[in-house]
Structure 1
């Protein structure tokens, strides 16, 4: 390399790196942990907490680990594609028995490092092999979606479609379809949240899902479902899987599902997940399509992470393959989903009792772990600085962080920042009138 083309590294080759951007959810969480206030509330993290604000181990997980002979468990590698018993059980939970039994020739399944690994793997696969011009992500969506697609699929342009109407605090179905119909190209990819949309807590109705499916079939889009909350949104595994199963009935649509068991089994740190790729069901050659898809996914997984993790997969398999443990798991899901619904109602009722300005029905109309509260970035900043209530700058709150003990305080804090802002606005208007 000539001197003119050499980089000036100075004393270190890493001196050319820009400082990392500060902030984000994990920085806010660190700030919360360091906060010495005697009364503080964490509405940041996407992990279930019980009514004492503590991590909760599902009774089905406790029983599964009791049944497992942990002392004799080996720590050998799994196959690169994962545990086949786990994958069969995961596929049945997601697609249902009928599809899993009779449509298995058109489904490729591979175990992944939770839903993040599944999203990364399908992005890298499309970038290498099918190269859609665009990937359409909902606006807003889980923040990591953008980073995943930029890192794993640099050849695919990231586009946004409207999802949330800030004025009505509702799902912007009309805006979504208008932009997709006018802007998307044939064979583009699109990401959809299967249920409990993160961060808004708003999902399409079944009628809207049907229209979305027809459009995807018409435009020949490759659909990617992110399924992180099956059973956690409604308390019913089958109900929350309805969109995925409905898309399967549209035989030409090819799609993938990024399946996570972090939330619905509480196996957050174990990183248990799967990627399912569904090829066209319109041809008798479906079975011949799955083998190359499987092979290329395995090749990519080998390069990215090699083998998937083992222990959490064992726990999940123990539950998914046992009728009794599945029954216990479904009861756990009801416990979690009902507590979240109760906290939504309690927060709404408290704001109404306080006569907090504005409308708050959207809190109870949303579902799942998160609420798009409608609070502004300034509201959120004042909540944190003045009342030690932490949520994302977008106003996204993790409902799991609410408890019977802190919900009154949280509602009062929200009431205070909303009322104080209105008082400032009224003062400014009054002051202007005197000029």
Structure 2
């Protein structure tokens, strides 16, 4: 008997998850996973932050807590702490009640909620994203109701850095009211961030063209080890008086990948609009997933709202960011020691979890098939997959792959 589902076509695999599956199935003892975007220790293992373990235990042992529904917009103490981390505890916008947070299903959920609000409530249809960007940006916005997506130039393969002139030129062409997706820090996938002076020029264009900035902050504190440094761009825009959205994720900087804990920070000029915005956000959440889970929010809220636990968390993010910086230095050193064709300063100039190596698809194919080193076709690698035991092997594979394609 025919099924109503017979005509359903199989969807394309999600590259990073397909890559991870292939890595897990690979029996080679020298295999290396540089694809999946998650922190790994020097031993190549996931790391549960000690402070997270403490907070988990405190939550579990708290006899006053139960499993009742959270409010639709989430746990207030958590959302306020997340917003304070982003904008600064002394933020005038917070004190003046011009900013508030909404608990979401990680950063992706914050992007989707913000995009749906802009499309459905505000009638926005045009958005811009960097070329390249995290592949889910386009899909989230198009699925939320946006119809007109454009890229702005970002990566210059020759410079192996930001094409800043191209970026500014493309933003100047954006129609008034367009939503501009900006990476707050540790740009994914390139690892290249604008300088403070360049952020000023980007803000000038967005202000002049009356565009709407939508920041994505997935790595605050995790990128440099300093949450204040990593929040510079968002705080600068807010201090200049911009109204904006910012999607926050606590997957990387708390190691809470599967708890799906995020926040959508809303900054407005007039606190009188808060009730209306929250009421429409409430309906959007109700129609999507009704309300968020409590456990992850309670963990992050407990850490950020307790001075002792917060300090311990600060030490943890310094541990993670320092290891990544060390791996960048070791990889660059090994590549240069081998005399690998090209320049490799960009490896240490970039920041955060990811590096856009400059490897092309043919070279990536060799890396995977011959050396069992798994990375995205774009040449993006997760620096956390490197350690002192495998960095020479990876560097040699890059060297050999480049030579093989230059013959």
CA distance, structure 2, for counterparts of residue 236 and residue 159 of structure 1:
32
Q: Give distance in 2, aligned partners of 1:317 and 1:24.
A: 33
Aligned counterpart, 1:4 = none
> CA–CA distance in 2 between the matches of 1:392 and 1:101?
40
* TM-score between the two structures when normalised by the length of structure 1: 0.91
Trace 1:124-163 onto structure 2 (pairs within 5 A): 124-153=116-145, 155-163=146-154
1:367 equivalent in structure 2: 351
Partners in 1 of 2:93 and 2:180 — Cα distance? 27
1:88 aligns with 2:80: yes
- Residue 16 (structure 1) shift: 2.1
The match for 2:379 is: 395
Match of 1:271 in 2: 260
Match status 1:377 vs 2:361: yes
Q: 1:26 to 1:104 in 2, by over 3 A?
A: farther
Q: Kindly state the Cα deviation for residue 104 of structure 1 after the two structures are TM-superposed.
A: 4.5
**Do residues 50 (structure 1) and 34 (structure 2) align?**
no
Q: Give, in whole Å, the separation in 1 of the partners of 2:60 and 2:125.
A: 50
Deviation of 1:62 (Å): 1.9
1:24 counterpart = 2:8? no
Local SS of the residue matching 1:239: helix
Aligned to 2:330: 346
* Equivalence for 1:193: 183
2:224 counterpart of 1:240: no
> What residue number does 1:432 align with?
none
- For residues 75-114 of structure 1, the aligned pairs below 5 Å read 75-99=67-91, 102-114=94-106
TM-score scaled to structure 2, two decimals?
0.97
- Does structure 2 conserve the Cα–Cα contact (< 8 Å) formed by 1:232 and 1:337? yes
Deviation at 1:312, TM superposition (A): 0.9
User: Secondary structure of 1:263's match?
Assistant: helix
Match of 1:428 in 2: none
2 CA distance for matches of 1:303 and 1:56?
Answer: 35
Q: Please tell me whether residue 224 in structure 1 is matched to residue 208 in structure 2.
A: no
CA-CA distance at 1:11 after TM superposition: 1.1
Partners in 2 of 1:226 and 1:372 — Cα distance?
Answer: 19
Between the aligned partners of 1:59 and 1:122, the Cα distance in structure 2 is: 32
- Alignment partner of 1:293 is 2:284: no
1:87 and 1:110 in contact (8 A); partners too: yes
Deviation at 1:21, TM superposition (A): 1.9
Task: Tell me which residue corresponds to 2:109.
Answer: 117
Q: Is the CA contact 1:108–1:293 (under 8 Å) kept in the aligned structure 2?
A: no
Q: Is the 8 A contact 1:126 1:132 kept in 2?
A: yes
Does 1:409 pair with 2:403?
A: no
8 Å CA contact 1:43–1:391 kept in 2: the answer is yes
Residue 317 (structure 2) pairs with residue 329 (structure 1) = no
**Structure 2 Cα separation of the partners of residues 102 and 263 of structure 1:** 25
Q: 1:59 deviation in Å? A: 2.0
Rate the CA distance shift 1:352–1:230 in 2: closer, same or farther, 3 A: same
**8 Å CA contact retained: 1:132, 1:156:** no
- 2:199 aligns with 209
Q: Which runs of 5+ in 2 are unaligned?
A: none
How many residue pairs get aligned? The number is 406
> Structure 1, unaligned stretches of length 5 or more?
1-9, 281-285, 425-435
- Rg comparison, structure with higher value: 1
